[in-house]
Chains A and B, each alone.
Chain A
């Protein structure tokens, strides 16, 4: 009975008693959601444009920001550090295209997915080998002009805190999404990329240079990874345990549909808010830290009702 009370009536009472706190939680959830969306965006981009579900995206994110921080820590300027990281990500895209993707043209998606799991392991080993595995690094927020203060917004006689860092992340996400949407819809390259995602062979046969397309999209995803990595790194520290956080992008993708950029944003926000609210109001009753699995179970329940995701297209199967 106590348990029932604590999972049904109690949370509602808490929300009614302190609505400002509830708003605060929602806001924090939204901000966390933006961060998830940023990670998921990288996955979505590669999937949309090459049909590959890139498991290594999380590792790429860590690699990108590690590279930047390492260069900066070595005493070079922040601009040079960013530039080196970008070049590194583009170089990585070339390497991945040459070594992994090119020999696997026209393989089933699931095989490509497994290959990216292998890639993730390789890159993680590689990254730890080069940048050192154990040391944690700090993102130079001042040099990047990312504020670390909290804004206080008065509301209903109380206050809501808003982190500048979260705001920056929100603005970055908005800019990225707008740019990418334009890129996919309005440019020739964007159209070619959509064709590639649909069918490798057909795209080749109409003269789309598959290889350069792949390099382009993986580079773009690498740049998204860099931005995401900086944001995530700034909010905690930079090390390979971020890879596990990046896996939160999966439920986001499922919720939003793998191919939809708006879906990724909405999915991220839902997951972010759901997770925070669940943890604060139901977490204790269930045993704490339910954040670890809540997002996945939420996505799973959602899938039962809408297998193609929020914004995914309904699949008509044919024989």
Chain B
């Protein structure tokens, strides 16, 4: 039963005063915001505002110079990316980062790797426990394939797929891990209107059917305003606004950041 009013809960992830620099380049300075359970949060901002860096910090791929990340009530300054993923954070990438040599099915199954536990001796023997585990996860992977309507390309190596489908497979791989927090880095970049509509529908469905919390980076303002519950705006590594789409739309500093401001 899908209701119109989602139950947006407590903060699932808090970003506290995070700063990040590469040499002399200050990518993020003193950024704080939170992602609440079951919501869709959009992070927007001009190019180079530090959006992708922000996701990378949340992922543990970059370590913040200052500040901390609190995820599910546990604070951390540094964590291995693999451990972050195992704790229920999965993501897609701005430039598609699929495993090109593998088929769609294998890519999605790889997303479930963290949920599989048979050791390599069982796997070498295969018959028995490893096979059962494999089949059980295949079933789950097929559910995602059905959900994303990519049955026909199940056994196609992803390198051969068109761009829009690759994006979809990448979403599938992220979903396969059954994440609590899904980070989407420009899920609609480079798509045509129809593909964007499809992708929007998938994002909303994921959010409503699985209750997954989503944080996404997107440049298409129409999409952002339509689907997100809340918007965080970054500019030059600083947070300049945080609020509902309507609030952000009217915010003067956001308008300045996007349209430029004349300096007397």
Contacts and interface: CB of A to CB of B under 8 A. Distances in A.
Direct A/B contact, Cβ within 8 angstroms: yes
A319 B22 contact: no
A104 B33 CA distance: 48
Given A319-B52, A319-B56, 5 more contacts: A316-B22, A317-B61, A318-B52, A319-B93, A319-B95
A42 to B, nearest CB: 32
Interface string A278-319: 000000000000000000000000000000000000001111
Contacts of A317: 61
Interface residues of B, number: 9
User: Which 9 pairs of residues, A with B, have the shortest CB-CB distance?
Assistant: A319-B93, A316-B22, A319-B97, A319-B56, A319-B61, A319-B94, A319-B52, A319-B95, A318-B52
A318 to B, nearest CB: 8
A77 B185 CA distance: 68
Contacts of A316: 22
Nearest to A314: B23
Contacts of A318: 52
11 contacts: A316-B22, A317-B61, A318-B52, A319-B52, A319-B56, A319-B61, A319-B93, A319-B94, A319-B95, A319-B97, A319-B185
Contacts, number: 11
A108 to B, nearest CB: 11
A317 B94 CA distance: 14
Nearest to B55: A319
Listed residue (A316, A317, A319) with the most chain B CB atoms within 10 angstroms of its CB: A319
Main secondary structure of the interface of A (DSSP, over half): loop
Nearest to B59: A319
A317 B95 CA distance: 13
Nearest to A319: B93
Nearest to A317: B61
A188 to B, nearest CB: 29
Interface string B68-104: 0000000000000000000000000111010000000
Contacts of B61: 317, 319
Interface string B48-59: 000010001000
A312 to B, nearest CB: 15
Contacts of A319: 52, 56, 61, 93-95, 97, 185
A319 B56 CA distance: 8
A318 B22 CA distance: 12
A319 B93 CA distance: 7
Contacts of B22: 316
Contacts of B185: 319
Contacts of B93: 319
Contacts of B97: 319
B180 to A, nearest CB: 21
Contacts of B52: 318-319
A317 B52 CA distance: 12
A302 B61 CA distance: 24
A174 B22 CA distance: 35
A316 B185 CA distance: 19
A317 B93 CA distance: 14
Contacts of B95: 319
A317 B56 CA distance: 11
Nearest to B94: A319
A316 to B, nearest CB: 6
A317 B97 CA distance: 13
Nearest to B53: A318
Interface string A153-184: 00000000000000000000000000000000
A318 B185 CA distance: 13
B238 to A, nearest CB: 21
A196 B40 CA distance: 43
A117 B52 CA distance: 39
A316 B27 CA distance: 13
B95 to A, nearest CB: 8
Contacts of B94: 319
B99 to A, nearest CB: 14
B59 to A, nearest CB: 9
Contacts of B56: 319
Interface string B182-194: 0001000000000
A318 B52 CA distance: 9
Interface in B108-143: none
A89 B172 CA distance: 53
A318 B48 CA distance: 13
Nearest to B93: A319
B174 to A, nearest CB: 13
